[in-house]
Amino acid sequence: MKGSVCLLCALVVVGCQSMAWVQYHVPTGKEAAMKGRLSEIAQTHGLSDRTETSLVPDIILYFVVGDRSFTDLGARRWNDKVIVDLQFRCAGLGGKTFDAMKPKVLGALRELYGGEVTEITERSELIPLHWEEPVQPGATEQ
């Protein structure tokens, strides 16, 4: 019993690390309409627009809420398609924003692209995010 209480206390203090990530692949050509629809969904759920500060190349939009525990929604161009990333990472308990946004994002994409939306949830099939390191003022390239 004493060991169970200590384990429970440790879990409450440390929290748990959980993550959810879904990608939607859509064809290029409707980025402006998609950006408008997804921006509206993100703002409705309290996410802040951080597109201008994103280090991801070819970013279309990037919204986030939270810090150590967060939900983010981004869209980027990748080869001949657009990838929409909806992610959730938790340092404790949570995930309600991710769960509420997921059907809305998929619905908005299906309205715009019909049957051309591919939903990816298997981690081995996700196209990872790559970003560029910012250039420091006064730095020289080698």
**SS3 state of residue 131:** coil
Q: Which residue has the tokens 């910012």?
A: 134
102 part of a folded domain: yes
| Number of domains present in the structure of the chain | 1
53 part of a folded domain: yes
Please tell me the predicted confidence (pLDDT) of residue 18. Answer: 80
1 part of a folded domain: no
Mean of all residue pLDDT scores within the chain:
84
CATH number of the domain where residue 116 is located:
3.30.160.110
Q: What share of the chain is helix, strand, coil (3-state, %, to 5)?
A: 40, 30, 30
Report pTM.
0.79
Q: Is pLDDT at 5 greater than 90 in this prediction? A: no
72 part of a folded domain: yes
pLDDT, tens only, 101-121: 999 999 999 999 999 999 999
58 part of a folded domain: yes
pLDDT band with cut points at 50, 70 and 90 for residue 37: very high
116 part of a folded domain: yes
CA distance 133 to 135: 6
pLDDT band with cut points at 50, 70 and 90 for residue 50: very high
Residues spanned by the domain of 50? 14-122
